[in-house]
A and B are shown apart, each in its own frame.
Chain A
Amino acid sequence: MLWVDKYRPKTLDQMIVHQDIVQNLKKLVSEQDCPHLLFYGPSGSGKKTLVRALLRQMFGASAEKVKVENKTWKIDAGTRTIEIELTTLSSTHHVEMNPSDAGFQDRYIVQEIIKEMAKNRPIDTKGKKSFKVLVLNEVDKLSREAQHSLRRTMEKYSASCRLILCCNSSSKVTEAIRSRCLNIRINSPPEDEIVKVLEFTAKKEGLTLPAGFAARIAGKTNRSLRRAVLSFETCRVQQYPFSSNQAIPPMDWEEYVSEIVSETMTEQSPKMLFQVRGKLYELLINCIPAEIILKRMLYELLRKLDSELKHEVCHWAAYYEHRMRQGQKAIFHLEAFVAKFMSIYKAFLISTFA
């Protein structure tokens, strides 16, 4: 088991980061009338861990006895029947799912499956709480229709069912949904808290940490707790005992993006564009999300470029990412960005050195 999973805290009391939020959550669920909750914050900031620990706080250890089910639902959509596959994780008190997995059919999940679950009274009424909980992940990825479909369900059945919604960006959740929840922001933990987690992990694994090593890892992982622990484990595999100046390897794909960027800066030509295309495909095939690739390219460019060009390049990155959202094929927009950059950069070089 990876360390990120092995040392994931199970209860609110075991949480090392987000102490302030933990204290608040405890108070929030102390009564029976807790409102719906919307957790939002960057990925890797620990939302899922918090939610699991919160469930445990609400329902006790039985919330941990979960089973994973993969079920195909047949939904009657008037003229035809639609089949939707959905994976759920459930205990006697809660059901967790990722409704946006159903893509453009997500509306049916909300209208049929979630509504049915919300309607039914809790399975175990003898338990501590008189309601059950539905955990919906990535609600920011739900279509507008699906979000609309959720509105009245959240009100109508609120006595028997509470929703816990999770997302990265609450800007993408409609105002009507946000207005129905208590919004809780989960920030990326600051570096000193990440260091504490790494020290805890080291202690559990019986490892000796040279001074400053944990801080170096924390500094390289953009405040993502998950990245930090993964990175720490990689370091352990590469070299132990640790030395304080030991290299902290970047992720493979990041190195790859860095190469792409160097290449586009050395040569701006159709031939190079073609070569870059292959590499972009390679990244996409390895399931690196397109917007992450684009943002990483921008990151590398901003490190290397003259300040005069930064404004222009960041504008086009934003422009093409927006286009990509509206389009269907990510590769077109990634390539368009690379081509745009090449053209700008070439013009810049000519005007500067000609």
Chain B
Amino acid sequence: MTDALTRTTARTAAGITLEEGLELLRKMTLIRRFEERAARLRAAGFIPGFLHPCSGQEAVAVGISAALRKDDVLTSNHRGHGHLMGRGADPAQMYAELFARSTGYNAGKGGSLHMIDADLGFLGANGIVGGGIPLATGAALQLKRRGSEAVAVTYFGDGASNEGAFHESLNLAALWKLPVLFVCENNLYGEFTRQSEHMVLENVADRAAAYGLPGVVVDGNDVLAVKKVAEEATERARSGMGPTLIEAKTYRHKGHFEGDMARYRPKEEVEAWLKRDPLLLFPEVLREELGATDAELDAVRESVEAQLDRDIEWAKEQPHPTPEDALRHVYVDSHNGKALR
């Protein structure tokens, strides 16, 4: 498996233009700055529910999405903000949802844990660990039935790979050659538990062998490496060869949820990973291999921050739902504001 790691992390910056590179950087920066602001907004009382920040893991979502087409679909987990913005979701509507406003992505009914953007084929974050994995498998089944070349992507963590849903879905997708990318963001912890305390294998990707699909390990902090394995996997899937399990080794910079001080992690480990921050690594690539200037790099950050500040102002002005809105959307055919008895 170390072979797989070295093979897939060989940098091929030449594969992208500077413009494409700056767009990847823009998305990763957007996600990081979004999460930082969300933490502050929660502390200030604007966000009532849970937040599971994805800071540090941005390169996975952005790298995967860079390989996708418009008609592809995605499912996600509880740490889904990056997956959404990687796919191009609108931060303003995301903030509005986090603020529980009626114009948010889920009309104030979902919050962070359930956020969707149906127009982008983003079928939702998920509050149930492992819950999104069978959903993507089923979406892929329907895509295949329809004869489409679209693929389904599902993001989940190392911890989720211990759920039965993961194992059953991998077997099913391999058996029926379904166009799925199983993307495991291995951030070394499930909640407060180290990977070595929740599974014996070193690589989640090795589990693929048990079900007869390829399992690939990639440096999840290297956006171009992630993009490359995602391109290979989507090509396989689109040509009818079936699913791939991609394990992206990465790290969450913060605790499991906003408010978790993450004292269960050794200081040296955190420091080592902070040095491998994708937002430090990728600007270097852009500078060295694509000749990006400081001014270009600064402009990315400045424009992202200005956008987010506008988005937050907009979201703060959005209307709250009425109490009775709770009764809507229970069934598709009961939009008259009354729940069925």
Same assembly: no
